[in-house]
Amino acid sequence: MLCKSWLEISCDPVVNTGQRKETFWIRVLNRYNSKCGSHPMRTQKSIMSRWDHIKAEVSKFSGHMTEMIRSNPSGMSNADKSVAATVDFASVEKHNFTLMHCWHILKDEPKWMELKRKMDTPQNSDSRENAPPSSSSSPSKKRPMGRYTSKEAKKKADSTSSEYLSKMHDLSVQKIELVKETEGERKTRLDEIVTIEKVETGEAREHRKVMLDIEREMLAPDKQ
């Protein structure tokens, strides 16, 4: 609800231009409290503190997701990349990412992407900090990674992707081996039945044949 309220106020062309931090957050607070339903109403301080947490966590996850998309591991769907980025986040940040719903709301919104560009670029804070980016502001250039940092980031992304694909491959192999083992056991027992039939004769063979026919029927694939 807070992410949606932030976006609605940020994208409102009537109030967006030039609004300062205090004015902006009063509007976000009023919008949130008017739509919170059964959820408890919040104060302006509570709203701003919660947004700072969401902003920091979602921004970090976006970085991990960007690296995963850039490395583009073969055979991984977008859902697989999200899972891998979540694992990477937990490994680096030492805690789980619990705001996936917020990321889905914000990730493709121009106002969020513009805010994230500003967060990624060191700059002096002013009274407009935490207010929405102005629609007239030009995108900031992100400071490029150093050569060592870039190589380490790519190495980490490749390692995470390889580990994920390796686990998926091992799981597939285990399933195939289990099927082969089951089929192999069935074939071995059927071969034993044929051998027994060839050895036994007379009345014993006839009796044994009846019993083996029953067992063969039970071992047939359509009975499994």
Whether residue 116 is contained in a domain is answered as yes
Give tens-digit pLDDT for 24-44: 889 989 988 988 878 788 999
Same domain, 10 and 75: yes
Whether residue 142 is contained in a domain is answered as no
Same domain, 198 and 102: no
Q: 56, 113 in Cβ contact below 8 A?
A: no
Q: Is 154 left (phi over 0), alpha (psi -120 to 50) or beta?
A: alpha
Whether residue 41 is contained in a domain is answered as yes
- In this prediction, residues 195-209 reach a mean pLDDT of 66
User: Residue 210: pLDDT band by 50, 70, 90 thresholds?
Assistant: confident
pLDDT for the residue 9:
85
pLDDT for the residue 127:
45
- In this prediction, residues 77-88 reach a mean pLDDT of 88
Whether residue 46 is contained in a domain is answered as yes
pLDDT for 154 beyond 80: no
Whether residue 144 is contained in a domain is answered as no
The secondary structure of residue 132, as a DSSP letter, is P
pLDDT for the residue 1:
82
Which of residues 173 and 111 earns the better pLDDT score?
111
Whether residue 140 is contained in a domain is answered as no
Q: Which of 90, 122, 154 is the last residue of a domain?
A: 122
pLDDT for 134 beyond 70: no
Same domain, 184 and 76: no
Q: Which domain holds residue 10?
A: 2-122
- In this prediction, residues 8-36 reach a mean pLDDT of 79
- In this prediction, residues 90-116 reach a mean pLDDT of 90
User: Residue 135: pLDDT band by 50, 70, 90 thresholds?
Assistant: very low
Same domain, 113 and 189: no
Q: Which of 87, 122, 157 is the last residue of a domain?
A: 122
CB-based contacts of 185-190 (< 8 A; 24+ apart in sequence): 186/219, 186/221, 189/219, 190/216, 190/219
Helix 147-199 to helix 44-71 angle (10° resolution) is 70
Whether residue 27 is contained in a domain is answered as yes
Same domain, 110 and 180: no
Q: Which of 122, 150, 180 is the last residue of a domain?
A: 122
pLDDT for 137 beyond 60: no
Residue with tokens 């980031």: 153
Q: How many distinct structural domains can be found in the chain?
A: 2
- What pTM did the predictor assign? 0.53
Q: Distance between CA atoms of 154 and 149, rounded to whole angstroms?
A: 9
Q: Is 130 left (phi over 0), alpha (psi -120 to 50) or beta?
A: left
Same domain, 92 and 180: no
- In this prediction, residues 92-109 reach a mean pLDDT of 91
Same domain, 105 and 10: yes
Q: Distance between CA atoms of 46 and 97, rounded to whole angstroms?
A: 21
Same domain, 97 and 205: no
